[in-house]
Amino acid sequence: MSEKTRLGLEILGAATVLGVSGDLLLRATPWGLNALLCTAGLVAAAAYIVHRHGIAVSADALWLAVAILLLASNFTARDSMALRALDSIGLAILCCLACLSLRGVAIRGLHAWEYVQAGLAAAVGACVGAFALVGRDVRWEELPSGGALRHLRAVGAGTLLALPLLLVFGGLFASADAVFGNVLAGAFDIDFGAVASHTFLIACGTTLAGGVLWSALLRAVAQPTGGPGRGFSLGIVPVGTALGLLDALFLLFVVIQLRYFFGGTDLIQRTTGLTYAEYARRGFFELVAASALVLPILLAADWAVRNEPPQQRRSFRSLAGLLILLLAVVMASALERMRLYVDQFGLSEVRLYATAFMVYVAGIVGWFGWTVLRGQRRRFAFGALVQGFAVLAGLHVLNPDAFIVRTNLGRPPHDRPFDAKYAASLSADAVPVLLAAVPRLGGAEQCRLSARLLARWARGDDDWRNWNLARRRARQAVQGRQADLQAVACKESDR
């Protein structure tokens, strides 16, 4: 048996085990411990195969494995649905990087488009890799045909021959004897819907795990091509003209912002007929979108003039640097709008995560100026990835749902009453703060919040598979104060 066939068979075996484990574990939702266990299983399978076959990997493989496990452990710590979604995206990105690392490619110093290519290749490999593994990479004719395997095939053939006979004689005996018929009916009382569901999930899990392992360990390493359009260069004139016009538009907006947004409430009300908070509310998300669009434009412009002479490159850097400075003012305006927005209307998940995204955009735009505009293009993409995971880690430390509740409780009640209905809809992460706030609330909000906390957290518990620390603590805290909450809780019709 060739080494490639042996490796392919081990990948198939590991993928089958992971598929069955995923079906058993991941059915319990929302995910918690089960997500960590499945991720750890995938990492362990890859590590075992790499060690067993002596596969040469890059130096990044170890810290990537640790980062994947740390990120997966967040499923057992926080309960926020938004954080779980971001963690899932982060795991997908890290798995794509791990596929590169396990094939011996150093992930530092790659261009942004190479990360995109790696992500697309890993996604395609995860979907179709198992089929390539079964149909091409494993040479089935190399498997031994004698011994126990030959006897096993013979037993299988005999079973297939006997099956129609068993059906005929079993049906006759069941008709002849009611007791025998009842025994057969009990023995074959099968929930075919459940069988189909388990079979489908196991097949999907096995295919996905096999595709990921194939993409990381068996797929041929693509040779670097130098990026798309290697010899193409657009030139400084069209690029400089486009950037100059964009600079002019941003400058016009900044001048207007300095006059109106930072000019006081009276000027805005006279000009627009809006209050300061309404003016802020209407513009924040548009400014977030505008800020996010600038970076791909600058990256494309840098690529378009990468082969130009140094003098023209300096002209591009001047125009790009001016745009970054103007963008900084736009971002400051957006963050000030959000501050006013929150003061007037309170904090929510959308507003908090949009602000976090703005902070991330600000960080990578600054990193673009520090690396790409200084001729260090290869440092940019990896640094941008690291900043993304740093922002995600900061969100976990912040505990968004608890922070939202604390922020809204800290606002003066006469500006806007505390929204107990929205606060109670947040995840278990917010429950300790909400319980501490119950005695401070007014009668109506107090009874609504108490009733909703009791309805969500007073009964039941997680299955061990989806155990989560935040949900466990929330249930224990609510159950410990159940009598106090029941004393002030509203009836269902009053909520």
Q: Could you write out the three-class secondary structure of 386-445?
A: HHHHHHHHHHHHHCHHHHHHHHHHCCCCCCCCCCHHHHHHCCHHHHHHHHHHHHHCCHHH
pLDDT bucket at 309, cuts 50 / 70 / 90: confident
pLDDT one-digit tens code per residue, 21-70 = 999 999 988 999 999 999 999 999 999 999 998 888 999 999 999 999 99
pLDDT bucket at 493, cuts 50 / 70 / 90: very low
**Do 94 and 71 contact (CB within 8 A), yes or no?**
yes
**Do 292 and 359 contact (CB within 8 A), yes or no?**
no
**Would you state the structure tokens that stand for residue 185, as one six-digit string?**
């009916």
**Do 291 and 331 contact (CB within 8 A), yes or no?**
yes
pLDDT one-digit tens code per residue, 380-409 = 999 999 999 999 999 999 999 999 999 999
Between CA 11 and CA 53 the distance in angstroms is 12
pLDDT (average), residues 483-491: 82
Residue 305: CB partners within 8 Å, gap ≥ 6?
233, 234, 235, 236, 239, 312, 313, 316
pLDDT one-digit tens code per residue, 127-162 = 999 998 888 888 877 777 666 666 666 777 777 778
pLDDT (average), residues 72-89: 95
What's the pTM value of the predicted model, to 2 decimals? 0.86
Between CA 260 and CA 337 the distance in angstroms is 12
